[in-house]
């Protein structure tokens, strides 16, 4: 077991469409996020539009320091909303997303507005197709074996 991390170069110039910058987005959701049970979405306090939007679908919302954290069950409706209505203009709306399985184990993280993707507690065999997906887009993708194994 170990973890997989990809660093994605997102063009921040404002002219590149979401589908080009986040070329991995739909496949990531359809192949991996679809198997998970819940997601926590974090927004900065000043992102009032995103906070208001997430209040409508969140089971629980709390403020911790500079961020609002929204816990959302991944029902079909919420899954489609988070996958398909995830961008504002040309970038991802949310700062960080942490996905858990039905046992509450954190399996997938999308950080820094989608420039970093992490799979936790994954075997090298299960990580291989993920590595190939991100290498397809020239992302810096690496698997790190857990030294505890």
Q: How confident is the model at residue 11 (pLDDT cuts 50, 70, 90)?
A: confident
Q: Which residue has the higher pLDDT, 68 or 19?
A: 68
For the segment 136-149, the average pLDDT, to the nearest whole number, is: 84
Distance CA 71, CA 149 (A): 31
Domain ranges for the chain, please list them. Answer: 1-69+125-138
Q: What is the rounded average pLDDT of the residues 141-148?
A: 86
pLDDT average, residue stretch 131-143? 91
Tell me what pLDDT residue 12 has. Answer: 63
What pLDDT is attached to residue 134?
93
**Token pair listed for 21:** 């910058």
Calculate mean pLDDT across residues 138-148. Answer: 87
The contacts found for 129-134 with CB under 8 angstroms, 24 or more apart, are 129/31, 130/4, 130/6, 130/32, 131/4, 133/24, 133/27, 133/28, 133/31, 134/6, 134/8, 134/24
pLDDT, greater one: 90 or 45 = 45
Contact yes or no for 137/19 (Cβ under 8 A) = no
Is pLDDT larger for residue 10 or for residue 104? 104
Residue 113 DSSP label: G
In which band, very low, low, confident or very high, does the pLDDT at 67 lie, cut at 50, 70 and 90? very high
- Does residue 13 register a pLDDT over 80? no
Confidence band, pLDDT 50/70/90 cuts, at residue 49: very high
**What's the pLDDT at 137?**
85
Residues 98, 104: contact at Cβ < 8 Å? no
Pairing of strands 87-88, 67-73: unpaired
Which spans in 34-113 are helix H?
48-55, 76-84
pTM for the whole structure: 0.91
For the chain, give the percent of residues with pLDDT over 70. 97
Over residues 43-69, mean pLDDT: 95
């Amino acid at each position: 077991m170990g973890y997989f991390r990809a660093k994605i170069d997102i063009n921040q110039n404002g002219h590149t469409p979401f589908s080009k910058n986040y070329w991995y987005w739909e496949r990531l959701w359809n192949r991996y996020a679809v198997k998970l049970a819940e997601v926590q979405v974090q927004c900065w306090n000043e992102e009032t539009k995103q906070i208001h939007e997430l209040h409508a679908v969140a089971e629980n919302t709390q403020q911790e320091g500079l961020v609002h954290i929204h816990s959302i069950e991944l029902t079909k409706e919420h899954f489609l909303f988070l996958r398909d209505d995830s961008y504002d203009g040309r970038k991802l709306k949310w700062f960080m997303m942490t996905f858990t399985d039905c046992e509450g184990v954190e399996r997938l993280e999308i950080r820094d507005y989608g420039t970093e993707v992490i799979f936790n507690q994954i075997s090298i065999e299960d990580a291989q197709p993920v590595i190939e997906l991100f290498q397809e887009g020239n992302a810096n993708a690496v698997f790190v074996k857990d030294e505890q194994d």
